Structure 1
């Protein structure tokens, strides 16, 4: 075994140990990313060193107001009354100098869920991380630590959607080529939690997966501290592919 491989194994084992009390080692084993390390999730950051980055952020916007802004944008999209804000050449020039998004979203990579479009937002408004099944691996969590603490996003939305193929695959199980099985494994605990509930099995599992990924985001000391200090709102949402409506589920 190479030195590099040994170090990677130690990092993964350490992460499993540190997070077992929050989610469970069996679950964590399925979602840690290739670069997983303890500092990415648990080491406190020097917030004073990032003060300059926060200058000019949406400091006047509360987490509740940030969420309401997303809700209103989605309402416009559903009603076909989009304002298409911040999509001009002037806005392009403005955000080229720096970004200060008011919201952050962990969404699915599904091509039918274009984030800025369904929330009627524009350039520089939303810090978006998209991955199949909207799963929170180490890299996604680290990205949202940056989007919330450094860039100043006031709301962090985990967005699932109807008929999610990744969740459906986790329900059906079986053998998958390449690394697709890693996605399925990360979602499987949500499928197990949703079993036996009344209603549509797939929809229940998708919503359960949103809640699971929210819990994983809270493993981050950075994100959990922002939430505790009322500087950030962490919420879940479910997007209806047929109507375009996002319903909050937490």
Structure 2
């Protein structure tokens, strides 16, 4: 029968964050894209562009949360100089600009960095996807 979601939610893959419950939505109401720390890569961009261009989703919401492990790991890496190895390193490196920019602007609390990362994610999404920018 096809899907007709009314919102695209891009958020962290944290298992404690259940989008349908938070927003009181049923199955099929939301097109959800999740990665640890809501980091953007080509698969994320393709998924989001599919929702916008093919499914006609009219609204994109970016959802961060408190106690985000990706943000916490990035702050720890910057504080200690020890960046995780493997693919976790890629997540940390992608979150770093948000934390470094926040520190430059005087932010110091983890909740401030989490909020800043959501803002930066929205900006990056608009910069990297012409489909989203034009929608």
TM-score (norm 1): 0.50
- Higher-Rg structure is 1
- CA separation of 1:184 and 1:121: change in aligned 2, threshold 3 A: same
Q: Which runs of 5+ in 2 are unaligned?
A: none
1:210 equivalent to 2:125? Answer no
Correspondences of 1:48-197 after superposition (within 5 Å): 97-173=1-77, 174-195=82-103, 197=105
Distance 2:125 2:69 in 1: 22
Larger helix percent: 2
- What displacement does 1:178 show? 2.2
Structure 1's consecutive aligned runs of 4 or more residues displaced over 2 angstroms after TM superposition are 196-200
Superposed displacement of residue 177, structure 1: 3.4
Alpha-carbon distance between aligned partners in 1 of 2:14 and 2:108, rounded to the nearest angstrom: 20
CA positional deviation for 1:136: 1.5
- Partners of 1:189 and 1:129 in 2: how far apart? 21
User: Conserved in 2, the CA contact under 8 Å of 1:195 and 1:201?
Assistant: no
Paired residues of 2:107 and 2:113 also in contact (CA < 8 A): no
> Is the partner of 1:144 in helix, strand or coil?
helix
Give the number of equivalent residue pairs.
130
Q: CA deviation at 1:99?
A: 0.1
| Post-superposition CA distance 1:157-179 (Å, at most 9, x none) | 11110110100110110232321
The answer to which structure, 1 or 2, has the higher relative contact order (CA under 8 A, 6+ apart) is 2
Query: Any idea what SS the aligned residue of 2:40 has?
Result: coil
